[in-house]
Structure 1
Amino acid sequence: MLELKINFNDINISNIDEHELTEIQAWMEVENQFAYGEDSLEELYERYLESYISECEFFLKINNKDELIGILKGRLELKNPNEVWIWFFYLNHEYRNASIGMKIIQELMNYFFDEYGIDIYFTRIIKENEENIVFWKNIGFKIVRIVKDFYCIDGKSMDMLIMKKVISL
């Protein structure tokens, strides 16, 4: 797992430890914003193991002071050119319209630029999630690809959007 620590204001972003998975799963159930089965402890443990065994993946908790307010999972791709993929980013409902989400993503991009010189970022989202599309567009991400019928949620096929941003600091 890629070790990562970012602190700004009262926000602390750091790696999830295995012993924290139960707390994170309980938070996911309370937030109730996840696809069916995605919030089970077994599924969360699988996502954790994927990150744990890969030196380029990260699985992060986001705390405001000592309160868990979000999680973020992604991967550093070391190729030419290097890039970062954000697989998912979930934030408490109460923080979504407070611009804190944008600040978290900007701090994450600044971290990877400062530490690894990376200026290319990707994310993937469900096409039908208008709120997410607007969020990522407001940060400067642009849709670069649509993958038809990538997701199957509650028996319904949904397209995946791949969005990209190249930063210039």
Structure 2
Amino acid sequence: MLSFSVINQDISISSIVKEDILKVQKWIEKQNHYLDESFYVNSLDVNEFIKRFIEYYVCEDEIFLKIVRDGNIIGIIKGRVEKKEEMELFIWFFMVDCDLRNKGIGKRVLNIIADHCTKSIGVNVLAAGVCSSNLKAIKFWEENNFKKVRVTKNFFDNINKDLIVYRRIL
């Protein structure tokens, strides 16, 4: 796991640790009640969450972050730094509290992370994987200057959907 901690005005972004698991899981359950997108179902399952935490915990290039404002979790991010031709942070999962969407929080968090990763570990590319049926996420990435670079057909075989990969050079 990569250790991550940055504070920007009223937002703190830091690595999820073992002591955070129950609090983060409760936040995820709350989000589940507001979401109608079927592609989130597996991502929000308790067992899947714990599996993702362990995966992150034992992998040296993984990040699993909580986004906190006023002492409350307002989002989570799961990703991986990949050392390719360029240093890339690939974001597999990025969720902001349903009540805070479309208020600029996601964009702000993304820019804080980009800035921190560029300065601290030399990341110069951000990438994100998105389910093809998640039109809100597609719009978010495109509005934040990410370009579609690849589509993997039927990547999500349990729901028969494609994976779209977006990239942004920093």
In angstroms, what is the RMSD of aligned CA positions?
1.3
Name the structure 2 match of 1:58.
63
Paired residues of 1:22 and 1:41 also in contact (CA < 8 A):
no
Correspondence for 2:105: 100
| 1:26 match | 26
The aligned counterpart of 2:164 is: 161
Q: Which amino acid aligns with 1:165?
A: R
Helix, strand or coil at the partner of 1:105? helix
Please report how far the alpha carbon of residue 41 of structure 1 lies from its aligned counterpart in structure 2 after TM superposition. 2.3
| 1:120 aligns to 2:128 (yes or no) | no
How far apart, CA to CA, are the structure 1 residues paired with 2:122 and 2:48?
32
Q: CA deviation at 1:160?
A: 0.8
Percent of aligned pairs with the same residue?
A: 31
Structure 2 Cα separation of the partners of residues 79 and 160 of structure 1: 20
Q: Can you list the C-alpha shifts for 1:97-155, whole angstroms capped at 9, x where unaligned? A: 110100100110111111122211110001111111111111100111111111134xx
- TM-score normalized with structure 1 length: 0.92
Q: What is the TM-score of this pair, normalised by structure 2?
A: 0.92
* Cα distance in 1 between the residues matched to 2:169 and 2:42: 33
CA contact (8 A) 1:74 1:86 kept: yes
Task: State which of 53, 61, 70 in structure 2 corresponds to 1:48.
Answer: 53
The reply on whether 1:10 has 2:10 as its aligned counterpart is yes
State the 4+ residue runs in structure 1 displaced beyond 3 angstroms. Answer: none
**Distance apart, 1:25 and its partner CA:** 1.4
Instruction: Answer whether contact 1:71 1:89 (CA < 8 A) is retained.
Output: yes
How many residue pairs align between the two structures?
165
Could you tell me which amino acid in structure 2 is paired with residue 17 of structure 1? Answer: V
Instruction: Determine the C-alpha separation between the residues in 2 that align with 1:112 and 1:98.
Output: 23
